[in-house]
Amino acid sequence: MTKAEGAPTTQQNQRSRTTVVTFLGAVVRPLGDWMPIAGAVDLLAEVGLDAPSVRTAVHRLKRNGWLTSQTRDGIRGYGLTPTAVTTLAAGDEVIWHARKPADLADGWCIVHFGVPESLRAKRHQLRAHLSHLGFGNVGTALWIAPARMREAAERAVSELGLESYAAIFVGGYQGTQDLTGLVYNSWDLAAIDQSYRDFIAAYGDRATRLEKDTPSGQDAFATYLGLVSQWRKLPFRDPGLPHEVLAPDWSAPAATALFERLVAVLEKPALAHASAHWPSGASKTSVSVVEGRA
């Protein structure tokens, strides 16, 4: 079958996997780290994923060590592995508690490396890893982040076995160049800020309407999963820089407050709807997690 005849594209497969991962973190974890496969397929159909796409994404996550087959109360399903739970929990710290601004007085972590051409692949991996951690690129092989990222940088270097080629420093900025200008040149903060503004534009008016007329059932679930899917990418891009070096109209605080308002309205009815697809007892789990998250 050709793509023109309906075979899923790479982009569709990526969307399916991303949505399923969001579902695992926002729904499956609160409902006990396990999901019934039939119930998951039905729920994800409500947000536009067909059964083959869901099953393909689940199969790949199982192959990658995130899911393991488990039957509960005679119902076939999948449980989250320790690897998945650990990874999702780390992500939750960023998604649900957006990275707080660093303290400028703590200084900066600087990573400099000179990796030989024979280790080019690892050099690219280190760059990608540092970028994912929220480091900005000051210059050739020179990366910067708030000082609190020192341990993360050390782990990144160690995991790639590049200790002999990298140097890590922590200290205050003593240069003459304007620090705000320096950080805006080191990160694409304009793009990050615009992402927050786009989120506010997409959900600002909806938040007021939802607070007045809270949806239930499928509407609450679909809106909630879409909300988390759109939000979850934003805090990971934000390096959490000290507020002193950011523009006065930096939009992250307003976007975070909006997200928290929406979660307060949508999370409980969304999980209540999802729990109806689980064996008895999941609804109690959902309520306790919602109350505890605040």
pLDDT of 281 reads 52
pLDDT grade for 2, boundaries at 50, 70 and 90? very low
Whole-number pLDDT of residue 225: 96
- Look up the CATH number of domain 108-171: 3.30.70
Taking the C-alpha atoms of residue 48 and residue 123, their distance in angstroms, rounded to an integer, is 39
Over 60: is that where the pLDDT of 3 sits? Answer: no
Burial of residue 117, with CB atoms counted within 10 A of its CB: 0-12 exposed, 13-18 middle, 19 or more buried: exposed
- Residue 145 · residue 168 · CB < 8 Å: no
Q: Domain map of the chain by residue range? A: 3-90, 108-171, 186-293
For helices 189-212 and 217-231, what crossing angle results, to 10°?
Answer: 160
In this prediction, residue 154 has a pLDDT band, given cuts at 50, 70 and 90, of very high
- Report whether pLDDT(256) > 80: yes
Strand 75-80 relative to strand 136-139: parallel, antiparallel, unpaired? Answer: unpaired
What is the pLDDT, as a whole number, of residue 279? 87
- Mean pLDDT for the stretch of residues 60-85: 95
Q: pLDDT by residue (tens digit) across 230-248?
A: 999 899 889 999 999 999 9
Question: C-alpha distances in angstroms, 132 versus 24, 68, 96, 233, 252?
Answer: 21, 28, 18, 11, 18
Residue 286 pLDDT > 70: no
Asked if residues 147 and 153 have their Cβ atoms less than 8 Å apart, the reply is no
pLDDT digits (tens, 9 = 90+) for 107-145: 999 999 999 999 999 999 999 999 988 899 998 899 999
| 200 vs 249: CA distance, rounded Å | 13
* Average of per-residue pLDDT across 45-72: 95
Categorise residue 112: left if φ over 0, alpha if ψ from -120 to 50, beta otherwise: beta
Identify whether the C-beta of residue 81 lies closer than 8 Å to the C-beta of residue 67. Answer: yes
**pTM exceeds cut of 0.85:** no
Q: Domain 3-90: which topology?
A: Arc Repressor Mutant, subunit A (1.10.10)
pLDDT digits (tens, 9 = 90+) for 9-55: 566 667 788 999 999 999 999 999 999 999 999 999 999 999 999 99
Burial 238-272 (b: 16+ CB within 10 A, else e): bbbbbeebbeeebbbeebbebbebbbbbbbbbbbb
Kindly write down the DSSP assignment for every residue of 4-60, as one continuous string: GGTPPPHHHHHHHHHHHHHHIIIIITTTTSEEEHHHHHHHHHTTT--HHHHHHHHHH
**With contact defined as beta carbons under 8 Å apart, do 84 and 221 qualify?**
no
What is the predicted pLDDT for the residue at 67? Answer: 97
Per-residue pLDDT, 292: 46
